[in-house]
């Protein structure tokens, strides 16, 4: 039987949406492409490859991506559901700041394989951060986050005013 773990939603003082350095997506893309071409230089093809594991290490797959996220609205709340397989709950942080929710996570994985004629030791790690602007009418004091079976569910309850049905306004001929 698996249990559901409630995660704290912390409030942070105002900070820029991208703390630290300025977000430059094209610069990071250029650096990643340069790194791939550096790894696939002429001597790459001359090196002996003894196993598929060695080929995977030689050809980097380090294109870290944020987890798949679904955002849904019901009459009483909004829900953000994020798939995070292999991430431990203690490596997930949910915070409320600057009119939005930030979800951060980090994955660390180690594998070791010893055979007669080779030894492979791999470490994979990566982190992500996603920011979601809060819509109007969210009761920020009642936001909850729960993690179960590799899925994070953040519930953003609506205020009583936001739960009222829309008022229909009659259109009259001018």
What's the number of CA atoms in the CB half-sphere (13 Å) around residue 16? 6
CA distance 149 to 61: 26
Note down the domain range covering 35.
Answer: 7-160
User: Is the residue at 145 inside a domain?
Assistant: yes
Question: So what's the pLDDT on residue 52?
Answer: 37
User: Is the residue at 1 inside a domain?
Assistant: no
* Total number of domains in the chain: 1
Pick from 41-55, 95-109, 125-139, 157-171: least confident: 41-55
Q: Tens of pLDDT along 24-79?
A: 677 777 777 777 766 655 555 455 444 334 433 343 333 346 788 899 988 899 99
Q: In the sheet where 144-148 sits, what is the strand order?
A: 5-7, 144-148, 151-157, 77-83, 69-73
Selection from 25-29, 44-48, 128-132, 144-148 with the highest mean pLDDT: 144-148
Quickly state the pLDDT bin for 13 (edges 50, 70, 90): low
Question: So what's the pLDDT on residue 39?
Answer: 61
User: Is the residue at 119 inside a domain?
Assistant: yes
User: Is the residue at 18 inside a domain?
Assistant: yes
Beta bridge partners of 81: 70, 153
Q: Tens of pLDDT along 63-119?
A: 346 788 899 988 899 999 999 887 888 989 999 988 889 999 888 878 888 888 888
User: Is the residue at 25 inside a domain?
Assistant: yes
CA distance 39 to 17: 33
Q: What is the mean pLDDT of residues 153-160?
A: 92
Q: Output the average pLDDT for the chain.
A: 77
Question: So what's the pLDDT on residue 95?
Answer: 92
The CATH number covering residue 71 comes to 2.60.40.790
Beta bridge partners of 73: 78
User: Is the residue at 167 inside a domain?
Assistant: no
């Amino acid at each position: 039987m698996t249990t559901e773990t409630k995660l704290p939603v912390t409030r942070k003082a105002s900070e820029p949406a991208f703390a630290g350095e300025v977000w430059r997506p094209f610069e990071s893309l250029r650096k990643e492409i340069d790194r791939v071409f550096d790894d696939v230089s002429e001597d790459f093809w001359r090196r002996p490859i003894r196993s598929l594991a060695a080929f995977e290490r030689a050809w980097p797959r380090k294109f870290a991506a944020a987890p798949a996220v679904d955002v849904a609205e019901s009459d009483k709340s909004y829900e953000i559901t994020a798939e995070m397989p292999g991430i431990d709950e203690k490596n997930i942080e949910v915070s409320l700041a600057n009119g939005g929710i930030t979800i951060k996570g980090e994955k660390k994985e180690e594998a070791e394989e010893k055979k007669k004629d080779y030894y492979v030791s791999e470490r994979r790690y990566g982190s992500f951060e996603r920011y979601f602007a809060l819509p109007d009418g969210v009761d920020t004091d009642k936001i909850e986050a729960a993690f179960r079976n590799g899925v994070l569910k953040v519930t953003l309850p609506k205020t009583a005013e936001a739960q009222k049905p829309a008022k229909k306004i009659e259109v009259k001929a001018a």
